[in-house]
Amino acid sequence: MGKAVMKSVLPGFGITLGFSVLYLSLLFLLPVAGLFLFTLQMSWADFWVAISHPQVVASYKLSFAASFIGATINAVFGTLVAWVLVRYQFLGKKVVDALVDLPFALPTAVAGIALVTLYSTTGWVGQYLYLWGIKVAYSEIGVVIALTYIGLPFVVRTVQPVLADFSKELEEASASLGASRFTTIRRVILPAVLPALLTGYALAFAKAVGEYGSVIFISGNLPYRTEITPLLIVSKAEQYDYNGAAAIGVVMLAAAFILLLIINSLQWWASKRG
Amino acid sequence: MSILSRLQQATLALTFTSVSFIALAENTLLNVSYDPTREFYREYNQLFSQYWQKQGHEAPTVRQSHGGSGSQARSVIDGLEADVVTLALAYDVDALRQKADLIPENWQSRLPHNSSPYTSTIVLLVRKGNPKNIHDWNDLARKGVEVITPNPKTSGGARWNYLAAWGYALKQYGSEEKALEFVTQIYKNVPVLDSGARGATNTFVQRQIGDVFIAWENEAFLAVEQLGKGEFEIIVPSVSILAEPPVAIVDKNVDRKGTRKLAEAYLAQLYSDEAQHLAVKHFYRPANPTISNQYKDKFPQLTLFTIDDVFGGWNKAQQTHFNDGGYFDAILSKISK
């Protein structure tokens, strides 16, 4: 009987659930259904040809690999940024804290243009890297940099509150029981942070896979080499090939969904263990 | 005042506003165009407004929309209510007929000169002093030369570039296979494939990437005279393609909005002497041969071939070269190996 009583304690279940379902349907389910409907017009053979063309396959590899690398870099350095912001007091901390959100607020095209200005072979940073033989803009490295840039706030903002809640006493207890600093980090801090970190990782990864605006300015867009999948989808649509664009979109959606599912079950496993 | 008379007044006011709204709609044009025509049409709209008022009409309002030619065409197909389109290539205008039946099949023969009141061609833009010693198309296929041109799959302008190079190779080497090989060599030298013409201009001019930029003549003049005075030089190749950007009224839209008369006058006036001189001011070649003769010194003389002569028209060129499985796809997959 507990459940019925619980409902009356928090009123409005029916109306909020109804609204949520409607809202999600209009904003999310309908466009996704449309995507699948477009591909239903295709035969299996056409669908397969559209999604398995070597140029398309090359773009999957780049998009997923670069997103993976970008999210991994963010997992390490984003956690570090979150740690610094939570644990230390320093001049300009508020500014640094605000800067982290910049990739959320800045239009992605502006970010792309700024990054290419910095990293092209004539750019402020790029010209020196080029002397060492490293070409950043218009190469795969450029794609990774753009995807790292847009993913940073996801990791920082998910890890930060967990670290803030984490009581210092646990660390002190660990130290007084004779654990080394490394052991404290590995056995005490990391397990507490891991579920949040995985969430941030998943968000950064998912955002990177779909990112378009900032990447196309810095990637060079060479087919088979630096062409990301979202660009290929846009380019298909430009050629009035809506079916082909939708087919690749479905593959992206399915792949991203499976990967997120894996990361989420990892997160579930980590929080159980914690 | 009684409620009834107030109601009458309100109705009257409503009728009045809706009448004036219709009048306004009939006197308003939307011209959907591509990127580099922005400055030309801004001036032409004033010219046309004066002409239209001299004919005893009210001053018209002309609104402009600019963007990549292909995506502009797609917007009109998807419902943007353009009265006239002034795009970069006939293929994009023809898409209005093929995809949405907005214009009749004979659209291109309704106005003189294939419905192209101004033309251009494709030339080569190099950096000051021509450090890589570029003189003709074959220099673009050399090792160590970086070529900037956008992706012909997404950019209308880039298709002209590609076809100009192909036409040169056909003439020079005599066979399709040789032309394919030649154009493949050129695309091997492309370090950045922008999706549109303006993006490619930025790559070459602002980012300083590449040794040679394949450009519309009017864009090249613009770069030389305005973007970086003295920083660039135009190299005129031995042969090139006659780029004909066509104009058309969108029949379905003007008939529904009642703007046909205005739209027709708007396009017809593009062929007037004043408009032809204005086109020259914005570095387009005028279609009128008499006026074109007056500017012999301004525009370099070179052998120009048309898309109909060499490629059998846009539809055929599109199918053979740019559609999925066409020559351009073959070039990309060759380069990737």
Percent of chain B surpassing pLDDT 90: 76
Within a domain: A245:
no
CB-neighbour burial class of residue A29 (10 A; exposed 0-12, middle 13-18, buried 19+) = exposed
Q: Which of A43-52, A184-193, B236-245, B261-270 has the lowest mean pLDDT?
A: A184-193
Within a domain: A173:
yes
Best mutation target among B99, B151, B187 (most A Cβ atoms within 10 Å) is: B151
Within a domain: A240:
no
Helix B38-54 to helix B260-268 angle (10° resolution) is 110
A·B CB contacts under 8 A: 66
Domain B119-243+301-336 sits in CATH 3.40.190.10: yes
Question: Token digits for B160?
Answer: 């002209």
Best mutation target among A239, A241, A242, A243 (most B Cβ atoms within 10 Å) is: A239
Contact between B68 and B155 under an 8 Å Cβ cutoff? The reply is yes
Within a domain: A59:
no
Of B68, B74, B151, the CB nearest to A221: B151
- B3-116+244-271 and B119-243+301-336: same fold? yes
Question: Token digits for B17?
Answer: 């506003």
Of A55, A225, A238, the CB nearest to B71: A238
pLDDT at B1: 43
Contact between A215 and A59 under an 8 Å Cβ cutoff? The reply is no
The verdict on a CB contact (< 8 Å) between B329 and A55 is: yes
Rounded Cα–Cα distance for residues B100 and B259 (Å): 20
The verdict on a CB contact (< 8 Å) between B70 and A224 is: no
DSSP letter at B284? P
Residues of B with CB under 8 A from a CB of A: 68, 70-71, 74, 95, 99, 151, 153-154, 190-195, 207-209, 322-324, 329, 332-333, 335-336
Provide the domain limits for residue A186: 65-223
Tell me which chain A residue has its CA closest to the CA of residue B323. Answer: A239
- Partners of B195 on chain A (C-beta within 8 Å) are 216, 221, 231, 234-235, 238
Percent of chain A surpassing pLDDT 90: 56
Of B68, B195, B336, the CB nearest to A221: B195
The verdict on a CB contact (< 8 Å) between A235 and B208 is: no
Rounded Cα–Cα distance for residues A257 and A252 (Å): 8
Residues 6+ positions from A204 with CB-CB distance below 8 Å: A70, A71, A74, A75, A78, A151, A152, A154, A155
What's the structural domain count of chain A?
A: 1
- Partners of B154 on chain A (C-beta within 8 Å) are 234-235, 238-239
Rounded Cα–Cα distance for residues A228 and A235 (Å): 11
Pairing relation of β-strands B212-216 and B147-148? parallel
Q: Which of B248, B267, B244 is nearest to B44 (CA)?
A: B267
Per-residue pLDDT reduced to its tens digit, A191-231: 889 999 999 999 999 999 999 999 999 998 999 999 999 99
Q: Which of A258-267, B165-174, B230-239, B291-300 has the lowest mean pLDDT?
A: A258-267
What is the 3-state secondary structure of A226-272?
A: CCCHHHHHHHHHHCCCHHHHHHHHHHHHHHHHHHHHHHHHHHHHHHH
The verdict on a CB contact (< 8 Å) between B154 and A240 is: no
- Partners of B194 on chain A (C-beta within 8 Å) are 221
Per-residue pLDDT reduced to its tens digit, B47-97: 999 999 999 999 999 999 998 888 899 899 989 999 999 999 999 999 999
* pLDDT tops 70 at residue A51: yes
The verdict on a CB contact (< 8 Å) between A224 and B190 is: no
Average pLDDT, stretch A90-104?
91
Q: At B31, is the pLDDT very low, low, confident or very high (cuts 50, 70, 90)?
A: very high
Q: Which of A132, A135, A105, A107 is nearest to A120 (CA)?
A: A135
Helix A30-40 to helix A242-273 angle (10° resolution) is 130
Of A138, A237, A238, the CB nearest to B192: A138
Residues of A with CB under 8 A from a CB of B: 54-55, 58, 116-117, 120-122, 138, 216, 220-225, 231, 234-235, 237-241, 244
The verdict on a CB contact (< 8 Å) between B209 and A120 is: yes
Mean pLDDT of chain B: 90
CB-neighbour burial class of residue A83 (10 A; exposed 0-12, middle 13-18, buried 19+) = middle
Average pLDDT, stretch B6-17?
49
Per-residue pLDDT reduced to its tens digit, B252-261: 999 999 999 9
Residue A137, domain CATH: 1.10.3720.10
Rounded Cα–Cα distance for residues A255 and A62 (Å): 14
- Partners of B99 on chain A (C-beta within 8 Å) are 240
Within a domain: A79:
yes
Name the minimum distance, in Å, from the CA of A237 to any CA of chain B. 9
Within a domain: A119:
yes
Residues 6+ positions from A53 with CB-CB distance below 8 Å: none
Pairing relation of β-strands B28-33 and B61-65? parallel
**All structural domains of chain B with their residue ranges:** 3-116+244-271, 119-243+301-336
The verdict on a CB contact (< 8 Å) between B195 and A55 is: no
CATH code matching the domain that covers B3-116+244-271, chosen among 3.40.190.10, 3.30.70.20, 1.10.10.10, 3.40.50.720: 3.40.190.10
Within a domain: A29:
no
The verdict on a CB contact (< 8 Å) between A239 and B192 is: no
ipTM for the complex shown: 0.75
